[in-house]
Amino acid sequence: MSELLTITLPDGSARQVAPGTTPAQIAAAIGPGLAKAAIGARVDGELFDITRPLEHDARLALVTARDEADALELVRHDFAHVLAEAVQALFPGTQITFGPSTDDGFYYDFAPKDRPFTEDDLPAIEAKMREIIAADKPLRREVWARADLIARWQATGESFKAQWAAELPEGEELTVYWSGDDWFDMCRGPHLASTGKLDPAAFKLTRVSGAYWRGDQSNAMLSRIYGTGWLTKKQLDAHLTRLEEAAKRDHRKLGAEMDLFHLQSEAHGSVFWHPKGYRIWRELEAYMRRAIDGAGYREVKTPQVMDARQWEASGHWGKYRENMFVIPDEVPNTDDDGPVISGEADWMALKPMNCPAHVLIFRQGIKSYRELPLRMAEMGCCHRNEPHGALHGIMRVRQFTQDDGHIFCREDQIVDEVAQFCQLLDRVYKDLGFPKYAVKLALRPEKRFGSDEMWDKAEAELREAVERAGMATPEFGWEELPGEGAFYAPKLEFHLTDAIGRTWQCGTIQSDRVLPERLDASYIGEDGNRHRPVMLHRAILGTFERFIGILIEHFAGRLPTWLAPVQAVVATIVSDADDYAQHAVATLAAAGIRVESDTRNEKINLKVREHSLQKVPFLLVVGKREAEEGTVAIRRLGEQAQQVLPLAEALALIKAEATAPDLV
């Protein structure tokens, strides 16, 4: 009846097959090995069920475990479905909603019948999932008419699915996947041929959480179950090991162990920096000061509390008031029983950001175009009353200090300033041990200030600057993110990659024409008229709190010597060496090394262990021999080998590493 299809394989060869032939049949025709290994297909580049009939001429590539990204996508998507099937089997009346694959597994959101799921439910669900996998139920794709599908969902009490089916775009083919003959889910696919293709030992349900229907806070709270899923148990085990390794780097754990800082409920969301933690801060801050001084910034310090009218003018009061710490501009009533505030108070607010204050400094006096670009910097301490659920260690806090800066410049200086900033940031990240980072451009959001022309221009400028800085390349992971910009400006984002491959957005630069307008900043141009400057908001670290947290996790606590709170410890073996140890400490300290002595009456084994756990980069062991010879036995953190050196040479060795990279 119909003509044969021409299917082109990756090696360029072509096969003529009847319409309705499946990729699985073609794999079988090629060879039994491939037939066994193939779990999916790419048809004209699109991921495709291996059992789905081909209907057109196409390029076909069979997917096996070797095509890891595709294979994992298929497998994780299937695990999500098996999870949903298992939950409905164990908890009748639970509605299914949505369950995609993720970076390391899958999740599924349910509308539970009577109570949300807890972690105690997970073992039973896992067991049921294994039953479904063992049953090797075929997964079969079917196309449904929208009305039939909605009716079906309504009949089975699946109101979320019914709503979704009703709202899917016109013209989209609605497909369902059957698991055997007794369960199905609406799904775009693709899926494996049957549940038995999954490795029952290669997944694990990891946690439960709440999640809003369609990610919208105003919608119903669903109950989400997360799992991690892989092709093999070996991959799963490797993943679990990676998680354990990441947990060992947790800055909250290391911060306590290394006595760097603490948090407590009396000031939740604000950090108590201990001497050692604050030493890291001071070194980092000193480094940043040198960096911005060298880049032509002038540092300022602005008020912590400003009148609410100022925040109204800047637009923050209207948009972010809920997240600001607001203070009545009135002396509180000290009566025990009376109201704390009487009458109508005027309001002030702790600053949630530095930019309005910087505009106020800019506005002092008349500025000439000759003074631009004017680069203003501040180690600005800000407060934001973040939602409680958002707080996380020292990474997300309510009081934080930004390495903030605002460049006031003319239109024609923007591209150059942004490109220069990119260069400064590159230097800083490399100095701080992050050679790899990605650059992204966040484009206009839906809700925004300013005209489309302004946004066109602002986005184009940032794009051009990145190109000029040589960062608009795949090496920098260059991409544009529609809708992600701030309400007043597009922003360049800089995402660090840490030692275990996680990414952290830290740096940013945004070109803002809104705030200078709102706060009436102007300069006198060459033509003698008033002009609006453009304001470039920029930060490299982001905040000191978060960046130090990232440093701790990146280095697993083993900070480079120049940042380490204690750079060396002189530890004695016998008390006869105490005097010599003090001499060694004094010698190193005089050269600016942060050094401590450990003359406790303890065994050297204990001292080595403790200072190693404290991540001290250099341990200098002195016994009778060293005291007599004027040497020290150097043991570097993480190494067992020791090197006996004259004190002066040891000092030179340590000094070389204890010097900040920009001072070398």
Residues numbered 536 to 565 that lie near RNA (CB under 7 A) are: 537
* Contact in structure between 431 and 662 (CB atoms under 8 Å): yes
Among 391, 589, 591, 660, binds RNA (CB under 7 A): 391
Of 613, 617, 606, residue with least CA distance to 572: 606
SS3 content of the chain, % helix, strand, coil (to 5): 40, 25, 35
Number of residues that bind RNA (CB under 7 A): 72
Among 91, 144, 178, 212, binds RNA (CB under 7 A): 212
Is 25 or 505 the residue whose CB approaches RNA more closely?
Answer: 505
3-state secondary structure of 293: helix
In angstroms, the Cα distances linking 93 to 458, 619, 658 are: 52, 63, 64
Site string for RNA, 560-599 (x = CB under 7 A): -------------xxxx-----------------------
Is 343 or 638 the residue whose CB approaches RNA more closely?
Answer: 638
Shortest CB 357 distance to RNA, Å: 13
In angstroms, the Cα distances linking 155 to 146, 159, 162, 187, 341 are: 14, 9, 9, 18, 58
Is 194 or 228 the residue whose CB approaches RNA more closely?
Answer: 228
Is 91 or 212 the residue whose CB approaches RNA more closely?
Answer: 212
Residues numbered 327-386 forming contacts with RNA, rule: CB under 7 A: 352-353, 355, 384, 386
Compute φ and ψ for 279, nearest 5 degrees. -65, -40
**H/E stretch holding 416:** helix 414-431
Of 107, 55, 49, 104, residue with least CA distance to 74: 49
Burial letters 379-398, b for 16+ CB under 10 A, else e: bbbbbbbeeeeebebbbbbb
Catalytic residues: 355, 384, 402, 404, 406, 491, 537
Site string for RNA, 604-633 (x = CB under 7 A): xxx-xx--xx-----x-xxxxxx------x
Is 134 or 648 the residue whose CB approaches RNA more closely?
Answer: 648
Shortest CB 142 distance to RNA, Å: 30
Side-chain-side CA neighbours of residue 348 (13 Å): 11
Residue 211 binds to RNA (criterion: CB under 7 A): yes
Residues numbered 288-317 forming contacts with RNA, rule: CB under 7 A: 316
Site string for RNA, 65-104 (x = CB under 7 A): ----------------------------------------
Residues numbered 126-165 forming contacts with RNA, rule: CB under 7 A: none
In angstroms, the Cα distances linking 292 to 284, 425, 465, 501 are: 12, 10, 19, 28
* Contact in structure between 58 and 44 (CB atoms under 8 Å): yes
Name residue 186's beta-bridge partners: 176
Residue 248 binds to RNA (criterion: CB under 7 A): no
Residue 22 binds to RNA (criterion: CB under 7 A): no
Site string for RNA, 255-284 (x = CB under 7 A): -x------x-x--xx---------------
Shortest CB 479 distance to RNA, Å: 17
Longest dimension (CA), the chain: 101
